[in-house]
Structure 1
Amino acid sequence: MGLTSKKVLVLAILFAALLFVATVWLWPRLARRNWRNVSGRVGLLLATQFALIASLGIFANQSFGFYASWADLFGQETDQGIVVDHLANGGTGGPLQVYSTSRVTGVKGSLPQAVGQIQKVEIAGPTSHINSQAYVYLPPEYFQPQYRKRTFPAAVVLTGYPGTAKALVTKLQYPRVAQEEAKHGRMQPMILVMLRPTVAPPRDTECVDIPGGPQTETFFAKDLPTAVQSHYRVGKQSGSWGIIGDSTGGYCALKFAMHHPKVYVAGAGLSPYYHAPIDPTTGDLFQGNALLKNRASLWWLLKHEPAPDTSLLVTSSKVGEHNYKDTLKFIKAVQDTHLTRISSIILDSGGHNFNTWRRELPATLQWISGRLSDR
């Protein structure tokens, strides 16, 4: 049974409940003051507490999508494979391979031309040598005959760390919200490319091109747009691409829009931070390269480099978010550039979690849609 299976959660809760009952039932029998009874009481308490914590951890993981599998949880997911489709003529596919499709859940209907479609894909990066799975949402218009020659704007959507791409579909429900917003004329139909920034698991690369390591920024700034454009009807001119992310993904989204404004003309960071941390999950990101370290700080970019011609959106909460004061400072710093455009969503209260980001999602999609071209 997989880590995200409901059976695992039910069994964990049942096991914790049984241990609790066993503790209550056996406690009088273990009341004597000898080493065996004391050890028994300690063992029951530790086992019960461990079972309760495990149940809460499994529930939190299923709610927020931190880890996709047991291997992911224990840091054993390191292989990077490429799905190769063997075509009838003996050739192979391109840098993007589709290996399953599904309907958009939460929306009435099943036909792609009515509700759109979600495709699970593998993206291979020839320049970065990084391969990553992603979910691609295609709006209903993509399949409708009258739009067969039309290109569509696209937005990359990133999770936090470690995150799972599937959580963007099932927990935050980007496809459903995008379909509803476009249906009611609040945004234009868009293609969404949903994945996690952890493209070299289990390492948190903070979307940096690490010297001698994963070239994460190159993957997102060059390989991914090229792969998607080669397979889907996405606008190829400057102005067709935006990027959205939450938490670590929010930092990455802002950084890519500032580093590569000709690729991403708009970047939205939901609960972002503004510089790359160094901790046990990241390792040494910069290998002594001072310029690389400086450019990973959005504060340094605003102070030392020409302001990029791009649009940024940041979100926070007055109560519940640790980035609130930094977000206000960042807004002021961007305003002082007089070129980079900045917008914000500030909630009265809201934690660093899916519920908060779901509240911000419709307005974020509307904002980014209004800044992208379909050409």
Structure 2
Amino acid sequence: MGLMGWPLLIAVVLLAIGGPVACLYVWNRVKGRLAVTVRLFMIVMCQVFALFVGGVSLNHYFEFYASWSDLFGGGKGEGTPIEQVGAGGVGGGPARFERTPKLDPDVYTATITGEHSGVRSRILVWVPPGYGSPANAHQTYPVVELLPGYPGTPSTWFHAVHGAAALKEAITAGRAHPFILVAPVTTVVHGRDTECVDFPGGPRVETWLTDDVRQAVTRAFRVQPDRSGWGLMGFSTGGYCAAKMAIRRPDLFSAAVTMQGDAVPQTPEVRRDHALFAQNSVLDLLRAHRPPVSLLLAGTRQDRNSDQAINQIMPLVKPPTAAFLYVLPKGGHNASVWNSMLPQAYAWLSGRLSAPHPA
């Protein structure tokens, strides 16, 4: 039984209902010295079942963890090997991108070891309609790298957050041109919110998300290699990462969308290191640099943190850096808000990243 999906959710709901019913049936039948202990145990188990319902329901909606291996520290792909896309291996090793029909027929996955970071983790890649057509065999595509919040997994972008579905609709409606969507694992150490930072002594998460992911995808897919064809988009912590990495690596990216992202790191271990904090604070970076990148700052007035972050970032933006606002009057910090932002985000990215063209 998978961590995601209805079977587990139904099972824990039945347990939560069955627990109190069993309690009522057994309560007065327990006699002797163990009666108090057994009754206390039954009360505790009823509470545990209730907590399971809450936890599984939240995970079912937000997809914090997509599988048991994600939850307990694994995270290897479960791809079905059908065909390799593009030419050559990935990351200098034997890894190949494989189709994942259980997730999406147009999504491929590979687990690689980054040559630059040493991080071993997973990447999901979605190819747009027509990518495999013989007529487009020499077409190269721009890339949008998708970053989830914490805790979260790449597959969140293909279920709770409708990254691929929204792009398909935008392409069909003529509001966006085709992109290849790349969703790498950002939580490379289980249970540790690294906020896409290169830590002294490791893990080098930013290097994994920039140099290594780019290298792996460029070797396996027909993507445009220059910065004009690469953008970033993330929600929550992933939104902060998108803005930060675009500012820090304008040699690799030309545009980024941050949906309800912070302006500064929140992880205590980063905040305690003043030099590391300054190197990863969007505010400090904009005070010190003016990279030629475009930022779309998306948020809602009701989400005080993202509204505050936008108000802190905007006064620091100086040419050639450009910032654009997309602020909704209402909405919390959740997937439904991020989904409502996607059509505008893809349209905005289409105006700043190059369109597909022959190699």
Correspondent of 1:190 among 174, 179, 200: 179
Change (3 A) 1:153 1:103: farther
What do residues 148-180 of structure 1 show as CA deviations (whole Å, max 9, x unaligned)?
222111010011112111121122121121112
Q: TM-score, normalised by structure 2?
A: 0.86
- 2:99 & 2:234 partners in 1: Cα distance? 24
Correspondent of 2:242 among 239, 253, 277: 253
Superposed, which structure 2 residues align to 1:267-278 within 5 Å?
267-278=256-267
Task: Name the structure 2 match of 1:13.
Answer: 13
Change (3 A) 1:100 1:352: same
Task: Name the structure 1 match of 2:337.
Answer: 356
Task: Name the structure 2 match of 1:299.
Answer: 283
Deviation at residue 62 of structure 1 after TM alignment: 1.6
What do residues 45-97 of structure 1 show as CA deviations (whole Å, max 9, x unaligned)?
332222111111111112111123345434x438x89x9x9x9xxxx833262
Amino acid of the residue matched to residue 227 of structure 2?
S
**How many residues in Structure 1 have an aligned counterpart in Structure 2?**
346
Deviates more, 1:322-331 or 1:129-138: 322-331
Amino acid of the residue matched to residue 283 of structure 2?
W
Query: Is this contact kept in 1: 2:89–2:220, CA < 8 A?
Result: no
1:342 equivalent in alignment to 2:323: yes
1:132 equivalent in alignment to 2:121: yes
Change (3 A) 1:348 1:38: farther
Task: Name the structure 2 match of 1:310.
Answer: 293
Runs (5+) with no aligned partner, structure 2: none
Q: How much identity, in percent, do the aligned residues show?
A: 32
Task: Name the structure 2 match of 1:46.
Answer: 44
What do residues 331-357 of structure 1 show as CA deviations (whole Å, max 9, x unaligned)?
2332xx233111122122212111111
Deviation at residue 184 of structure 1 after TM alignment: 1.5
Query: Is this contact kept in 2: 1:247–1:272, CA < 8 A?
Result: yes
Amino acid of the residue matched to residue 280 of structure 2?
A
Amino acid of the residue matched to residue 235 of structure 1?
Q
SS in 1 for 2:257: strand
Task: Name the structure 1 match of 2:97.
Answer: 98
1:77 equivalent in alignment to 2:74: yes
Change (3 A) 1:52 1:230: same
Q: TM-score, normalised by structure 1?
A: 0.83
- 2:315 & 2:333 partners in 1: Cα distance? 22
Amino acid of the residue matched to residue 335 of structure 2?
F
Task: Name the structure 1 match of 2:316.
Answer: 333
1:67 equivalent in alignment to 2:65: yes
SS in 2 for 1:155: strand
